[in-house]
Amino acid sequence: MSDTSHGTGGLKFDAKKRSWPNELNIFFALIIIIVIFEILGQVLPYMNDQSFLFDTRDRFDSIFNEARLRIIILQVAIIGIIALGVTQVIISGGIDLSSGPLVGATAMIVMSFAQTELVNGNPNPKAVFGEWAFDLPVLVPVLVGLAFGAVIGAINGSLIAYTRIPPFIATLGMFLICRGIAQAWTRGQPVSFPTEGYAFLGKGMMPVFWFIALAILFHISMRYTLYGKHTYAIGSNEDAARMSGINVQRHKVRVYMIASMLAAFAAVILSSKNLTAQSGMGIFYELYAIAMAVIGGVSLTGGRGSIIGTVLGAMVFGVIQSGFTYIKLDAFYQLMAMGAIIISAVVLDKYRQERAVSRR
């Protein structure tokens, strides 16, 4: 066996060789965290009879607190969509720091094409363009957003593939450019009041629907199609991938384009859910998306990880966030705990990897 440093590495990626899929570990971690919150809820003196996940007050038909289950996934669905793209970028051996600001910029742009003319019978107080841009079909803003994402992604990918500057630098530059676009678009003014059709895209549990649908789509494409196999191959060993006939440069551009289009789509859902677009939207989203992927077992050295892992990583985030509110933990400690959890997840994963390698 020559594949040591990057897990199963190279084109020989073979899930069967692993006796214990990584995703299962994350799933267990998820259960453990839930149990911890459940216990804290019973032990802490200021908590009354409620349970974290179960319906102790007979409010729902099932034994679960359905409202809790819904918010756990709803609050991570949008960043989760970004994380699906970030996962692919990281597996290909890159990194994308521009996704958060891209969300802000895209939200501003698409919302300008999604505005309605009359608000409560009065003219829209936040109109960006003239009359022609009012009450456009919902497909217009969505396509504008995806096109914008595709352009940004193509620039990211081309810079990285053809000028060979490090992905960290290329996407950091794009980070600033997008933040600038977001602010320049309306000089910082928020854009509000979308059409009903647009508002439907992110209404209620719709963000979760999109997240799961896109997760399934990219799970299939990463696992069963040539696109996915090439992505893993490039991330494991770029030279080997090139020599085995993969057009590495073109493929990289494709990966970054998909990642940015996913971030742009997340911006559509986010602005629809909030019924507003603001230039400050998406702050830290890129870091949370990366953290979700990393907690989900995606290796920052490339070549290893999965969409399922990232979805579970997102769930870990959702459970922790909801759990913190449940036990009424102060915001300061929430940040500290979140940081500690991210670090320990990666340390544990690394330790597990090294053990797996030495066992061979």
Interface positions with other proteins (CB under 8 A): 50, 57, 59, 65, 67-68, 70-71, 74-75, 104, 119-120, 122, 125-126, 179, 182-183, 187-190, 192-193, 203-204, 270, 273-276, 278-281, 321-322, 325-326, 328, 331-332
Write down the least CB distance from residue 347 to other proteins, Å.
Answer: 28
Q: Where are the beta strands (DSSP E) in 258-344?
A: 276-277
Of residues 132 and 332, the one with the C-beta less far from other proteins: 332
Task: Please give the structure tokens belonging to residue 324.
Answer: 């913190």
Write down the least CB distance from residue 29 to other proteins, Å.
Answer: 21
Q: Where are the beta strands (DSSP E) in the chain?
A: 118-119, 122-123, 191-192, 276-277
Secondary structure letter of residue 13 according to DSSP? -
Write down the least CB distance from residue 201 to other proteins, Å.
Answer: 14
Of residues 166 and 204, the one with the C-beta less far from other proteins: 204
Write down the least CB distance from residue 271 to other proteins, Å.
Answer: 10
Write down the least CB distance from residue 44 to other proteins, Å.
Answer: 13
| CA-derived radius of gyration, the chain | 21
Using alpha carbons, select from 320, 296, 267 the residue that is nearest to residue 82. Answer: 267
- Position 239: which residue type? D
Of residues 164 and 328, the one with the C-beta less far from other proteins: 328
Phi–psi pair at 188, nearest 5 degrees? 90, -10
Q: Are strands 122-123 and 118-119 parallel, antiparallel or unpaired?
A: antiparallel
Of residues 98 and 322, the one with the C-beta less far from other proteins: 322
Task: Report the C-alpha gap between 266 and 268 in whole angstroms.
Answer: 5
Of residues 198 and 326, the one with the C-beta less far from other proteins: 326
Of residues 179 and 251, the one with the C-beta less far from other proteins: 179
Task: Please give the structure tokens belonging to residue 302.
Answer: 């490339």
Q: Which DSSP string do the residues of 23-64 spell out, in sequence order?
A: HHHHHHHHHHHHHHHHHHHHHSTT--S--SSB-SS--SSSSB
Write down the least CB distance from residue 253 to other proteins, Å.
Answer: 30
Write down the least CB distance from residue 120 to other proteins, Å.
Answer: 5
Write down the least CB distance from residue 194 to other proteins, Å.
Answer: 12
Task: Please give the structure tokens belonging to residue 51.
Answer: 């349970």
Of residues 195 and 299, the one with the C-beta less far from other proteins: 195
The answer to whether 110 touches 144, Cβ cutoff 8 Å, is: yes
Task: Report the C-alpha gap between 359 and 348 in whole angstroms.
Answer: 17
Of residues 125 and 245, the one with the C-beta less far from other proteins: 125
Q: How many Å is the maximal CA-CA distance in the chain?
A: 71
